[in-house]
Amino acid sequence: MVVIRTQFDGKQILLPEDLRGLPPQEVIVIYNSRENALESEAWLKAQEATFDKAWDNEEDAIYDEL
């Protein structure tokens, strides 16, 4: 699986030059509009404190050293 950041021109997904010519295959597309991006960013920021609390414990501290 490869994650590719690219653009959608309203009709097609524009692959980077080095990926053109790949054989046909199934892909997963996550469309994030600019309006949704700002809303998503605000939502993630609001959840940050909750995630900090969930991950700030002795059991998970071992992963900090990996």
Q: What is the mean pLDDT of residues 17-25?
A: 87
For 15-38, letters b (16+ CB in 10 Å) and e give: eeeeeeeeeeeeeeeeeeeeeeee
CA-to-CA distance for 24 and 18, rounded, in angstroms?
Answer: 15
Q: Is residue 22 helix, strand or coil?
A: coil
What pLDDT score does 21 carry?
86
Higher pLDDT, 44 or 7: 7
Cα–chain center distance at 60: 23
pLDDT at 36: 65
Domain boundaries, the chain: 32-66
9 pLDDT more than 80:
yes
Total-model pTM = 0.39
Rg, the chain, Cα only: 18
